[in-house]
């Protein structure tokens, strides 16, 4: 298994875990903030930041994960990034226009859905990229054998 595949599997697990954790924290915060602002939400956000910031720092502290890639892996990574950005645009388009078409232009969407859309967008983009890398690497290995 190449370094790129290991990275894709790691990202897939990390983004899935992180998204589930973020949705859980958001659900807890949304349930408590429904009637107005309270300090438990601030504490939940601070706890989440105290966990996420060190994890992101540790991960980003490592040398660039692209440093050890060969040309084939760089090309696969670039194609996966392009596919991920295309998926991101399609997801945001659908997230914006499906409610517009279903509800009509005069209706209001609750603000509570905005963080859910954001979390789902980040998850979708990383999911597409990780799966694209894994599939492309598997196809390259089949062609090589």
Buried b (16+ CB within 10 A) or exposed e, 86-116: ebbeebeeebeeeeeeeeeeeeeeeeeeeee
Q: Write down the pLDDT at residue 96.
A: 86
Rounded mean pLDDT, 43-57: 70
Buried b (16+ CB within 10 A) or exposed e, 52-81: eeeeeeeeeeeeebeeebeeebeebbeebe
| Per-residue pLDDT tens digits for 88-136 | 999 999 988 888 888 887 888 777 778 778 888 888 888 898 899 889 8
Domain hosting residue 110, numbered range: 3-144
At residue 27, does pLDDT exceed 80?
Answer: no
Of residues 76 and 142, which shows the higher confidence score?
76
Tally of structural domains, the chain: 1
Q: Which two tokens stand for residue 99?
A: 């409610």
């Amino acid at each position: 298994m190449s370094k790129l595949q290991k990275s894709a599997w790691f990202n897939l697990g990390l983004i899935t875990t992180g998204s589930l954790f973020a949705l859980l924290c958001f659900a807890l915060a949304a349930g408590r903030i429904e009637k107005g602002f309270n300090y438990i939400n601030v504490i939940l956000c601070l706890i989440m930041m105290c966990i996420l910031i060190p994890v992101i720092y540790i991960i980003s502290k490592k040398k660039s994960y692209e440093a050890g890639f060969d040309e084939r892996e760089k090309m696969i990574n670039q194609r996966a990034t392009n596919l991920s950005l295309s998926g991101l645009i399609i997801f945001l388009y659908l997230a914006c226009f499906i409610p517009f078409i279903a509800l009509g232009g005069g209706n209001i969407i609750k603000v509570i859905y905005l963080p859910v859309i954001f979390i789902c967008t980040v998850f979708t983009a990383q999911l597409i990229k990780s799966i694209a890398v894994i599939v492309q690497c598997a196809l390259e290995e089949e062609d090589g054998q």
